[in-house]
Chains A and B, each alone.
Chain A
Amino acid sequence: MQCSSLAHEHTRRARRDGNCNRAPFIRSYNKCTQIACVELRAQRIQMTVTVTSTHVMEAQAKATILQSGGGGEQQHGSDKSVDVAGKDVDLVGAADDEMTVLLTNQNYHFDATSDIEDAFVELNGSKDVELDAAVGGNHHAEHPQVTWLDDDAIDALDRVTLDIGNMFFNRVDSQEIIYQQKKKNIKMVGKYVMGDVLGEGSYGKVKEAMNSENLCRLAVKILTKRKLRRIPNGEQNVTREIHLLKQLKNQNVVQLVDVMYNEEKQKMYLVMEYCIGGLQEMLDHAPEKKMPLYQAHQYFQQLVNGLEYLHSCRVIHKDIKPGNLLLTLDQTLKISDFGVAEQLDMFAPDDTCTTGQGSPAFQPPEIANGHETFAGFKVDIWSSGVTLYNLATGLYPFEGDNIYRLLENIGRSQWTAPDWLYDLDESFAKLILGMLQADPTARLSLQQIRKDAWFLSAPAVTGPPIPIPPLKGDKYGRSTVLPYLEAYHYGNEQDQEDVYFTEHDVNQELARRAASAAAEIRANRNAAASVACHSYEPSTSAEAEAMVNGSREVTTVKKKGSGLKRRAKKLVSCISVRKLSHCRTS
């Protein structure tokens, strides 16, 4: 009977985290710390959970707002939960700088009265979930209680609940999960002022930063020893990457500005030049996940320049893919992530390599087939070919249901360019074919690519380029360090008041953003369609685009305003909660 009462649970998290053992109440939202609801009733529940339906809005939100940047160094994700799913416990720990407190309140209603349309969880099995009630089991449901948790408590809770290794869902009304906006307290590492988190990888976070002396925008990759130890060869790879990056200095290779260590915190900071986004994110946000041919051409030329430099330094990148190609503010392409790169010995007779650990879809046949040795430079050529094909068509030359099928397909036979590719652009198809030769000796070299007809051509401008997706809704890509600096220099004059908002608000906000993003995509499609109808005139359509941008700006501003209003309204209810005796501000 417990099970049936749980049938309509609020289990957004279950869907989101799918198969991983995520604690049900904890997830992170971009600007605020999630607070866990602690009052778990001590009870044994027998259940397995299968997710049967997904919420449409939520799915859209995931697609448009969350970024699954495929391992790029600076993934500018606005929400970490997707990234983190399946990694490990540290979701809340990871978000620690961003948020503060979590409070929970009231008894949980184990009934099915509200939010029917939310998620449906089918309970059908029998799995023993032994819930550790020690977490704060509180049976006095008559008194609404608020428990404030700090980051450590959340972390601890996270571990406790996760260690059980099972999923357990407790119903918490989204109105009852309350976030407090984190105060922007300035944090300096050396001479660098830290800003918001740009993205996250298995090694740690990437944050924006600013050099307080020359005001240069930077990105800082923060590596913690604890996390590095969990990655196979983690520490070795990082040492090698730093060693490599220190030697490299080229317009199309990401520049390592500084390296700092904090022995006490067991952290390492890699300060790098700032990039506004990656090609993978751009593709993810573009309709049909591809970019116009001329835009791909522009990036490909820079990729070849960068690769030529790397190869001249005897460096084989081995992991060329859109996710590892970043863009600076002025659209300069930067090759990044040298985690699996290899530098040939100074006296090596040729470019023979023995290890390849790149992304499967971009691996050449010689690696897919498990050859013991292979020519290193040609690996990068193949990956660049797959990358170019992916940029321009949104497809992969080889696909497979799983990694084994994929590698099998890559290794099986010579790829042939589909007919439609020849129709698209014959010289382009020939170049791709040349770069995707299964035989490394027949594959084009960088010198040959430089002489290629398509490479030398200037493809016609066929429409507006796909844009770099805005970071956290800021289409200007402004520095996220600024709010910290303002708080530091002027005190918290503008937000003396604590700002509270609930999970419910967050969800509504996500839904709203998803809706507006969908509307935008629709508008873009319409625009694209109308552009396709008329012949493209650069000047006029640029103007039109400017107008569209302008109007969009106005609408987003308005929406932000309404969002604030909504929050302000909620504030009232939250404050009433705060008055309770158990309240304690952090």
Chain B
Amino acid sequence: MCSNSLTDYQFTKAFKHGKFCSVYKANCTVNDRVVVIKKFSLEQEDDAELKRLFAEIQCCRQFKHPNINEILHSFIVDSDVYVLYPYMCFGTCQILLESIFTNGLPEPLIALIFKDVLSALMYIHTNDFVHGSVRAHHILLDSQKAVLSNFHESRSFIKHGKKKPVLHGISHEKNLNWAAPEVLDQNVHGFTEKCDIYSVGITACEMANGIQPYSETQPTLMYTEKIRGNVPSLLDRSTYTMLLDDQGKMPFENATTRRTYEIFSQRVLTDDFHQFVEICLNRNAENRWSAKKLMTHAFFKQCRHVSISDHIKKCRSESQNNSLIDDESIGPLDDHAQECREDVQWNF
């Protein structure tokens, strides 16, 4: 069991320092375990963030599944809430995409990750929960497995002892690009757990292409595109021409985009992967496969006899600029963050 006292934790690194939330890596001296500690300030003008945090903690504590990021412990000291998570050495998929795999993750690694993510989704869906914000940023990796985290958007079909047939309510602004059309549409029919499957499809494109879908699109255009059934797609030899304009040229040509373009035009993603994404991004929620059925998809055949750490280690050794990542760190640590760490140490 973890300790409620800050003196039992040795803060070793600050990952992020924000107005509302700061993230640290720490050693728990009681059981000698490496943990990630998120510190939230209770003194907020708007309590909406706090409510979301409490909902997340309540929700996560009901889950027990190897592919769901568990909350080890949470406690309050002074006016701050401290939430403890297990340490995941490779950090989020988004950090991997930004640091090593800038042109997308290799397909077998994506298959490995989604196998874990889908098993987590299958678990929460059978428990009548919807995650609501599946995206690369909310998938954490360590050498063994991928875990699903960030349940602050999750909703349950069960409310006041009754099970509702559908859910209503739109996603948080930051997660809109991954949201399913029926979530954005906000009509009487609402949405079901199949909205997570759509987000899986968008996330697959994000991880394969190394580009956040719709990141440079106006939200309203993203909305109408999705309503019309237009979806992003995997970029490889068969589809890279989509990046080109009418004359067959790159719209904004420079060295980086040229290189990206070359990589896309040379690589081949399997038909299974294309089909998997197509199934996930079906405009009609009823025609999307359930998480359980998706796990039987041929896309996952390539998961045999490999593990996540093999892939990442292999790629890292190939990569020239591996200075950003090592087993110890999961993100760049700037001077500002360093200062914050001093503050924290001073606190105890």
In angstroms, Cα B169 to Cα A217, docked, is 10
* Secondary structure dominating the interface of A: loop
Residue from A213, A215, A328, A479 within 8 A of B187 (CB atoms): A479
Asked whether any CB of chain B lies closer than 8 Å to the CB of A399, the reply is no
Asked whether any CB of chain A lies closer than 8 Å to the CB of B8, the reply is no
Question: A residues 444-481 with Cβ under 8 Å of B?
Answer: 468, 475-479
Asked whether any CB of chain B lies closer than 8 Å to the CB of A58, the reply is no
Q: A181-222: contact bitstring with B at CB < 8 Å (1 yes, 0 no)?
A: 000000000000100000000000000001011111100000
Contact B224 A215 (CB under 8 A): no
* Chain A residues closer than 8 Å to B176, beta-carbon distance: 214-215
Question: A residues 463-518 with Cβ under 8 Å of B?
Answer: 468, 475-479, 482, 485-486, 488-490
Q: Which residue of the partner chain A has the closest CB to B167?
A: A330
In angstroms, Cα B189 to Cα A475, docked, is 9
Contact A489 B220 (CB under 8 A): yes
Residue from B164, B170, B187 having most chain A Cβ neighbours under 10 A: B187
B169 to chain A, nearest CB (A): 7
Contact B170 A216 (CB under 8 A): yes
Residue from A213, A468, A485 within 8 A of B173 (CB atoms): A213
Q: B208-250: contact bitstring with A at CB < 8 Å (1 yes, 0 no)?
A: 0000000000111101100110000000000000000000000
Asked whether any CB of chain A lies closer than 8 Å to the CB of B105, the reply is no
Known: A214-B170, A214-B176, A215-B170. A476 touches B224 (CB 8 A): no
In angstroms, Cα B186 to Cα A217, docked, is 7
* Chain A residues closer than 8 Å to B228, beta-carbon distance: 486
Contact A489 B187 (CB under 8 A): no
* Chain A residues closer than 8 Å to B224, beta-carbon distance: 482, 485-486, 489-490
Contact B187 A478 (CB under 8 A): yes
* Chain A residues closer than 8 Å to B220, beta-carbon distance: 193, 210, 212, 215, 485, 488-489
Known: A328-B168, A485-B224, A490-B224. A213 touches B186 (CB 8 A): no
Asked whether any CB of chain A lies closer than 8 Å to the CB of B188, the reply is yes
In angstroms, Cα B220 to Cα A489, docked, is 9
Known: A485-B223, A485-B224, A490-B224. A212 touches B218 (CB 8 A): yes
Asked whether any CB of chain A lies closer than 8 Å to the CB of B331, the reply is no
Contact A476 B188 (CB under 8 A): yes
* Chain A residues closer than 8 Å to B107, beta-carbon distance: none
Asked whether any CB of chain B lies closer than 8 Å to the CB of A157, the reply is no
In angstroms, Cα B226 to Cα A485, docked, is 12
Known: A212-B218, A214-B170, A216-B170. A475 touches B188 (CB 8 A): yes
Residue from B168, B187, B188, B227 having most chain A Cβ neighbours under 10 A: B188
In angstroms, Cα B169 to Cα A490, docked, is 27
Known: A215-B184, A329-B186, A330-B169. A482 touches B219 (CB 8 A): no
Contact B188 A482 (CB under 8 A): no
* Chain A residues closer than 8 Å to B223, beta-carbon distance: 215, 482, 485
In angstroms, Cα B185 to Cα A117, docked, is 44
Residue from B164, B167, B190, B219 within 8 A of A215 (CB atoms): B219
Contact A214 B173 (CB under 8 A): yes
Residue from B168, B172, B189, B224 having most chain A Cβ neighbours under 10 A: B224
In angstroms, Cα B220 to Cα A185, docked, is 15
Question: A residues 288-332 with Cβ under 8 Å of B?
Answer: 328-330
In angstroms, Cα B182 to Cα A329, docked, is 13
In angstroms, Cα B305 to Cα A239, docked, is 69
Question: B residues 159-210 with Cβ under 8 Å of A?
Answer: 164, 167-170, 172-173, 176, 184-190
Residue from A210, A215, A216, A468 having most chain B Cβ neighbours under 10 A: A215
In angstroms, Cα B220 to Cα A212, docked, is 6
Asked whether any CB of chain B lies closer than 8 Å to the CB of A276, the reply is yes
Q: Which residue of the partner chain A has the closest CB to B164?
A: A330
Residue from B168, B172, B185, B221 within 8 A of A330 (CB atoms): B168
In angstroms, Cα B224 to Cα A485, docked, is 7
B228 to chain A, nearest CB (A): 8
* Chain B residues closer than 8 Å to A490, beta-carbon distance: 224
* Chain A residues closer than 8 Å to B169, beta-carbon distance: 330
Contact B186 A214 (CB under 8 A): no
* Chain A residues closer than 8 Å to B219, beta-carbon distance: 212-215
Contact B170 A482 (CB under 8 A): no
B221 to chain A, nearest CB (A): 5
Known: A215-B220, A468-B188, A482-B224. A329 touches B170 (CB 8 A): no
In angstroms, Cα B227 to Cα A479, docked, is 11
In angstroms, Cα B223 to Cα A329, docked, is 19
* Chain A residues closer than 8 Å to B170, beta-carbon distance: 214-217
B28 to chain A, nearest CB (A): 38
Residue from B185, B189, B190 within 8 A of A479 (CB atoms): B185
In angstroms, Cα B219 to Cα A193, docked, is 12
Q: Which residue of the partner chain B has the closest CB to A274?
A: B186
In angstroms, Cα B225 to Cα A489, docked, is 9
* Chain A residues closer than 8 Å to B168, beta-carbon distance: 328-330
Contact B185 A478 (CB under 8 A): yes
* Chain A residues closer than 8 Å to B227, beta-carbon distance: 482
Residue from A475, A476, A489 within 8 A of B221 (CB atoms): A489
In angstroms, Cα B189 to Cα A276, docked, is 12
In angstroms, Cα B169 to Cα A328, docked, is 10
A402 to chain B, nearest CB (A): 39
B326 to chain A, nearest CB (A): 38
B152 to chain A, nearest CB (A): 15
* Chain A residues closer than 8 Å to B186, beta-carbon distance: 216-217, 274, 329, 479
In angstroms, Cα B188 to Cα A475, docked, is 8
* Chain A residues closer than 8 Å to B189, beta-carbon distance: 476
Residue from B164, B169, B223 having most chain A Cβ neighbours under 10 A: B223
A220 to chain B, nearest CB (A): 16
* Chain B residues closer than 8 Å to A477, beta-carbon distance: 187-188
Q: Which residue of the partner chain B has the closest CB to A216?
A: B170
B180 to chain A, nearest CB (A): 13
* Chain A residues closer than 8 Å to B184, beta-carbon distance: 215
In angstroms, Cα B224 to Cα A217, docked, is 14
B229 to chain A, nearest CB (A): 13
Residue from A276, A477, A489 having most chain B Cβ neighbours under 10 A: A489
* Chain A residues closer than 8 Å to B172, beta-carbon distance: 214
* Chain B residues closer than 8 Å to A215, beta-carbon distance: 170, 176, 184, 219-220, 223
Question: A residues 311-363 with Cβ under 8 Å of B?
Answer: 328-330
* Chain A residues closer than 8 Å to B221, beta-carbon distance: 485, 489
Name 10 interchain pairs, CB-CB below 8 A, sorted by A: A212-B219, A217-B186, A329-B186, A330-B167, A330-B190, A476-B189, A477-B187, A478-B185, A479-B185, A485-B223
Given contacts A214-B172, A330-B164, A482-B224, could you give 16 more A-B pairs where the C-beta distance is less than 8 Å? A193-B220, A212-B219, A213-B173, A215-B220, A216-B186, A276-B188, A328-B168, A330-B190, A468-B188, A475-B188, A477-B188, A479-B185, A479-B186, A479-B187, A485-B224, A486-B228
Lowest 5 CB-CB distances: which A-B pairs, in order?
Answer: A330-B168, A477-B188, A214-B173, A329-B168, A476-B187
